[in-house]
């Protein structure tokens, strides 16, 4: 298991209940792939530095989690299939042991 951080930008034209459902769905996806969510930070609605798909702002959420590296590609594919997610930034945060 490795540690990862996911920043997702969600479409701003949804209500707060739908935003919570999308964040919960991301958590469910992680646990269904035998991962473990360590923290979730719902940052709320923020202005974007540049337009993404004609949107000037979006809802931001940060997930920190553990996941098997073999499941990362499957998880990434499932995120990209969600039409309400505008952009994702997926990084590994595991410490390198020298």
Q: What is the CATH number of the domain that holds 30?
A: 3.30.70.60
- Residue entry with tokens 């202005």: 47
pLDDT top residue among 44 and 98: 44
**pTM of this prediction?**
0.86
Cα Rg for the chain, rounded, in angstroms? 14
HEC letters along the chain: CEEEEEEEEECCCCCHHHHHHHHHHHHHHHHHCCCEEEEEEEEEEEEEEEEECCEEEEEEEEEEEEECHHHHHHHHHHHHHCCCEEEEEEEECCCCCC
Average of per-residue pLDDT across 43-70: 92
Is 97 a residue whose pLDDT tops 80?
no
pLDDT on residue 96 = 56
- Give a yes or no: residue 26 inside a domain: yes
In this structure, is residue 97 part of a structural domain? Answer: no
Q: What total number of domains does the chain contain?
A: 1
Query: Quick check: is 98 in a domain?
Result: no
pLDDT digits (tens, 9 = 90+) for 17-37: 999 999 999 999 999 999 999
């Amino acid at each position: 298991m490795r540690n990862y951080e996911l920043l997702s930008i969600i479409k701003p034209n949804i209500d707060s209940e739908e935003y919570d459902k999308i964040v919960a769905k991301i958590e469910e996806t992680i646990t269904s792939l035998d991962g473990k969510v360590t923290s979730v930070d719902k940052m709320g609605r923020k202005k974007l530095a540049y337009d993404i798909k004609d949107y000037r702002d979006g809802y931001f959420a940060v997930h920190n989690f553990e996941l098997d590296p073999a499941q990362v590609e499957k998880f990434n594919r499932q995120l990209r299939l969600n039409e309400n997610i505008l952009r994702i930034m997926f990084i590994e945060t595991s410490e390198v042991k020298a």
